[in-house]
Amino acid sequence: MCLNALAHDREIVVYATASVEADVMSVLRQFADAYASRDKGRLLGLFCSDRDAVVLGSGCDERNVGSAAIWGQVRRDWEQTDTLRMRFGWRSVSTMGQVAWLATDCYLYVQAGYRKAEVPLRITAVMIQNHLGWQIAQLHYSSPISVGSEADTCVE
């Protein structure tokens, strides 16, 4: 059942208010800032402390569950690059109670030695609100396949 229909039937609003959207996007921007400045403590502090906090990437081995695994992925990203900066575009933020979920377009500027690229990404995240504010419970990023790409986007 569509969440909008569920929300309508039970009179629960799922679209985030402007204030909640700003708070949730602030956490994502703080993540981007900590990632760019390579601030381990600030970055990991944005995640909920559950052993179940998850970060998924595009690579086959980029399934990270728990803060130790998340830190391992981030450390590897930092070791392989000189510069990493994110900027966000379109976004959609919804909420139900103390849970928010978002989707956003992102552009990741990467520099490694003399190589530079701006990689388009799609990010989805789930955040929970607790006494510390909004924290990331799940984060998934992937790069969309270009239209006209020869890659098959369907599983047969």
Tens digits of residue pLDDT in 5-52? 445 555 565 778 889 999 999 999 999 999 999 999 999 999 998 788
Tens-digit pLDDT profile for residues 98-123: 999 999 999 999 999 999 999 999 99
Query: Between 1 and 71, where is the model more confident?
Result: 71
Least Cα distance to 122 among 149, 155, 77, 89 occurs for: 89
Residue ranges per structural domain of the chain:
13-142
CATH architecture of 13-142: Roll (3.10)
Strands 133-142 and 54-56: parallel
Report d(CA 149, CA 145) in Å as an integer. Answer: 7
Is 140 within 8 Å of 56 (Cβ atoms)? yes
d(C-alpha 40, C-alpha 38), whole Å: 6
What is the per-residue pLDDT for 146? Answer: 66
pLDDT of residue 5: 43
Look up the pTM and report it. 0.83
